[in-house]
Amino acid sequence: MSNGVLLSILLLTVVHFVAFVALFAVLGDGIVDFFRPKKRDDDWGSEPPDEPLAPVPGSTGGLPLPDAQQAPVRLREPGRIAERYPRPARRREHPPVPAPERETV
């Protein structure tokens, strides 16, 4: 390798090292915590909470919800969903527009 290639690799390494030191100086231990693996919330071995969650005020709970509306089509019934809805009305055909006549010069 030539001296120019070696010097450029060395310069790039020094720049990265200085940038990492600057980040550590600015963020402190926060930069180290960023690279540590985090404990997952969906851990299968965790115990359920001791107290149940408090109900949302104003909700009666239970099913069906008071503001729920019946769906127009039930998906449990056999058949296609498209068969349950009426077909959209076809657009009316417009008469063809005559092509403009060309002028002769």
pLDDT for the residue 49: 63
Res 16: pLDDT: 96
Query: Which one-letter DSSP state was computed for residue 34?
Result: H
Amino acid at 90: R
Identify the pLDDT of residue 33. Answer: 74
pLDDT (tens place) for every residue of the chain, 105 residues total: 678 899 999 999 999 999 988 888 887 777 677 777 766 665 565 666 677 677 667 666 667 666 777 777 777 777 787 887 888 888 878 888 888 888 877
Residue 23 to residue 18: CA distance in whole angstroms: 9
**Nearest-angstrom CA–CA distance, 74 and 96:** 43
| pLDDT, position 8 | 94
The CA distance from 93 to 57, in Å, is 56
The single-letter code of the amino acid at 76 is R
Distance CA 24, CA 13 (A): 17
Angle at 82 between CA 76 and CA 83, to 5 degrees: 80
Please state whether the predicted TM-score (pTM) of the whole model is above 0.85: no
What is the pLDDT at residue 10?
95
Domain boundaries of the chain, sorted by first residue:
1-36
